[in-house]
Structure 1
Amino acid sequence: MANLALFDLDHTLIPTDSDHEWGRFMVKLGIVDAERFAQQNDRFYADYKAGVLDIHAYLVAMLTPLAKYSRAQLKAWHDQYMHEVIRPAIVPAALELVRRHKDAGDLCCVVTATNEFITGPIADVFGVDKLIACEVETVDGHPDSPYTGRPTGTPSYREGKIVRTEQWLASLGKTWSDFERSYFYSDSHNDIPLLEKVTDPIATNPDATLRDYAQKAGWRILDLFQPS
């Protein structure tokens, strides 16, 4: 029986926050008002770390600029973002972690609160076919149409990660009980609901709150980005 391996992305598989860094990248490109957006971006990031993020307001703020540009232009910018920001940050240990689960035949999925526009190409680098991310609305619902600047569906944030994961498993005709072991790797205390759902929660590069929680719960702690 194959096992289930779920991975958070930001500060778990990559040692940075792809959403926050994309916001900084938009400021660098000059496609958003630098001072206002930078302040807003930093405020949302602080709210996330504090566990008080208004996920809908955050998604609207991050997605609104996407509606102003063609998908071709956005892809060109994202390619540049991957080359300059994301790929240089990826560490071999993270790639190896995912590879071990894939080689074992595990069903693998990245489950992130960051939107699918930002995270799709990052999940591809790790060779993970399934991505559960906050969904971005398009003009007519077609996947290649321009973005509206609004989110759609259930945000994959906190308890929403459980909802979206269970919807995905149901689409495969599966439930949690179909897996002898289920793993979830995450750095964030915001992911405690999903960590508590799996058989093998792994606090990975955990923030202070999650590290303390994991130690008390007897969970495995993995510091993936520490020098070997």
Structure 2
Amino acid sequence: MNLALFDLDNTLLAGDSDHAWGEFICARGAVDAQAYQARNNAFYEQYKAGTLDNNAFLAFVLEPLARLTRGELDALHADFMREVISTMILPQGQALIRQHREAGDLVAIVTATNAFVTAPIARALGVEHLIATIPAQEDGRFTGAPRGTPAFKAGKITRVEAWLESLALNLHSFPRSWFYSDSLNDLPLLSRVSDPVAVDPDPTLRQHAEQAGWPVISLR
């Protein structure tokens, strides 16, 4: 058995689900659209540049989850899946997941985007294992804060190792381990697997991949 890890945003999806969720809740009037959209866009640009203050971003992006009941959030998310995510899922990404599953590989999505946004997307992609930033909850409602280590940059390594440990495994348990990603922010985990793959990469990751001899592919 081998291990296949997939980033989600701009890798298996033609876009960023975190940023798209922000735009969606602006359009639905769940937040002050003008102020929220400006900050959402600013944080997204910082993410793409590799300069994101993740603590500040999580305080921003998780706060709206604490305003609404879980029922209200789930209804919003169902519309988000139907109206937005369904158009972003890449068929070639689905085919690559299927290829690894049919080979008997252990497959997981590893994403910095919080689990409320991404768990239904992972289910739609048919991926059982999701490693994502976890929004804290109390009494069935989100608190607006994260729980544990966010799955961001080196935090992805921490979370993947903890997940594998829970299965009595580690990265060395597998003859081969793949990680597919588009982002310079994922260089820490890409550097830990046996088979890093740059997928429609940003310019920094493309340059690094070419210098290191990593495969560069497109799922678009």
TM-score normalised by length of structure 1: 0.95
Q: Which residue of 2 aligns with 1:49?
A: 48
- Give 1:30's aligned residue: 29
Per the alignment, residue 18 of structure 1 pairs with 17
Which residue identity is paired with 2:207?
A: D
Per-residue CA deviations over 1:89-142 (Å, capped at 9, x if unaligned) read: 2121111010011111101110000000000000111111010000000014xx
- Letter in structure 1 aligned against 2:10: H
Misfit runs of 4+, over 3 Å: none
Q: Which residue of 2 aligns with 1:87?
A: 86
TM-score, normalised to structure 2, is 0.99
User: Match for residue 67 of structure 2?
Assistant: 68
The aligned residue for residue 110 of structure 1 is 109
Determine whether 1:184 maps to 2:179: yes
Looking at structure 1, the residues matched to 61 and 40 of structure 2 have their Cα atoms a distance apart, in angstroms, of: 8
Name the aligned partner's letter for residue 155 of structure 1.
P
> Which of 145, 154, 162 is the matching residue for 1:159?
154
RMSD: 0.7
Aligned pair count reads: 220
Name the amino acid aligned to 1:84.
E
Alignment match, 2:213: 218
Amino acid at match of 2:104: G
- Name the SS of the counterpart of 1:14 in structure 2: coil
Q: For 2:110 and 2:19, locate their aligned partners in 1 and report how far apart those are by CA, in whole Å.
A: 17
Alignment partner of 1:101 is 2:100: yes
TM-aligned CA deviation for residue 189 of structure 1:
0.6
Name the residue aligned to 2:195: 200
Secondary structure of residue in 1 paired with 2:113: strand
3-state SS, counterpart of residue 120 of structure 2 = helix
Structure 2's unaligned 5+ residue stretches are none
